[in-house]
Homo-oligomer: A and B are copies of this chain.
Amino acid sequence: MLATASTTAKDAALAAAADLLVQHTPAILEANATDVDRAEASGTAATVVDRLRLTAARVEAMADGLRQVAALPDPVGEVVGGWTRPNGLLIEKVRVPLGVVAIIYENRPNVTSDAFGLCLKSGNAAFLRGSGAALASNLAVAAALREGLEKAGLPADALVLVDDVRHQAAVEFMRLREYIDCLIPRGGPSLIKAILENATVPYVIDGDGNCHVYVDESADLDQALDILVNAKTQRPSVCNAAESLVVHSSVAAQFLPRAAAALSGVDLVGDERSQQVVPSIAAATDDDYGKEFLDLRMSVAVVDSLDQAIAHVNRYGTGHTEAICTTDLAAAGRFTREVDAAAVVVNASTRFTDGEQFGFGAEIGISTQKLHARGPMGLRELTTVKYVIHGDGQVRA
């Protein structure tokens, strides 16, 4: 029974699976070549083909990922809390696996291995559905992983890869209430939309990040500039990259020209007041403020107060990560209390909202929903709890 498998057995399976991935490299690359050839033949965009393509180094990285997960603490069995009631009942709240965790994902075959590792370590069976474009690669990767499970004496079916890749099958997959305890989608807006419309299984959404950097009137402008540039440009394609700059009007004239210069190469779109200071800023539409660009593009807004900044962030944000640059203790306090997001950051880059950066060791995604998990999801977020109650004959009066 996977849920009660020992940490030793799970870690042995992760180590065996890692070794087998490396051993199976030729078969995996051969399978991957058929996926890549088919994708190229059908005119798939080069960036998509790149996500699909495996190399010996990428397979080695997948194996290393499994070894890293093996080295993390096992969340299962953690006693989250406990107390004794006046009648002598001892109530303990213990972390247990969810059961079956389903992941729907797109083209990257490494997700097959990464998701499996996190699910196994947290005692969950992994029920995976990748894209049709990566089916041969995913099957080859899964074969190695399943062999690793068996080698460690665990059931191979702790990993099940769905090989029916029709669109209709994905919809059916989202409705398997009898089999799936939690569904986590790893993909873009169209996948998320399909889940919101069709899923009847419980899910945790890894959602958009329309993240803001607000530069307060009291900000250390040099520091704010570093934070802004890092948040926007260090890796623009990810969900914790900043998409919007909000500046207090009392520092706009000083800060915006420096920001525009430091963000050369980034298309800035802004409101009239930002355009008055920096004429090269194009006019923003309301739509621009609500958009996760995932690109070298950024919206700019000038506000007259902390209240306006908070209102702007709460109106356009997606509840992911919002940062304030300030030296004012009261402003930091109000921003962190009043902005509604998974992470609120004072004087640091938005890019830190990440399982690795939080010290979780690995992550399955970043939740922008409020139920179950919010923010980076590591091994603990792949568990639930159970109350274990010990008595000596207590009955209710």
Contact = CB atoms under 8 A, between A and B. Distances in A.
Interface of A: 1, 3-4, 83, 85, 89, 91, 96, 98-99, 177, 181-182, 196-197, 200, 202, 204, 220, 223, 226-227, 229-231, 234-235, 332, 336-338, 340-349, 351-353, 357-359, 369-372, 374-375, 384-396
Contact of A338 (B4, B83, B230, B372): B4
B357 A390 contact: no
Contact of A344 (B89, B230, B357, B387): B387
A394 B202 contact: no
A346 B202 contact: no
14 contacts: A99-B370, A182-B371, A196-B200, A226-B395, A229-B395, A234-B396, A342-B386, A344-B387, A347-B394, A349-B396, A353-B389, A370-B384, A374-B384, A374-B386
A78 to B, nearest CB: 13
**Which of A234, A342, A391 has the most CB atoms of chain B within a 10 A radius of its CB?**
A391
Nearest to A396: B351
A248 B180 CA distance: 32
A37 to B, nearest CB: 36
Contact of A345 (B223, B357, B389): B389
Given A226-B395, A234-B396, A357-B396, A389 B1 contact: no
Contacts of A374: 384-387
A366 to B, nearest CB: 11
Nearest to A226: B395
B371 A204 contact: yes
Given A83-B359, A202-B370, A338-B1, A347 B182 contact: no
Nearest to A367: B384
Contacts of A1: 338
B341 A386 contact: yes
A10 to B, nearest CB: 15
Nearest to A200: B196
Contacts of A227: 393, 395
B386 A343 contact: yes
B342 A387 contact: yes
Contacts of A348: 89, 389-395
Nearest to A181: B370
Given A4-B338, A348-B395, 14 more contacts: A85-B357, A99-B340, A182-B370, A226-B395, A234-B395, A343-B386, A343-B387, A345-B389, A346-B391, A347-B394, A352-B396, A353-B387, A353-B389, A374-B387
Contacts of A234: 395-396
A353 B246 CA distance: 49
A205 to B, nearest CB: 9
B83 A388 contact: no
A357 B87 CA distance: 10
A1 B314 CA distance: 13
A-B pairs, 6 with minimum CB distance: A348-B391, A230-B395, A370-B384, A371-B372, A348-B394, A343-B387
A356 B279 CA distance: 63
Contacts of A91: 358-359
A336 B396 CA distance: 21
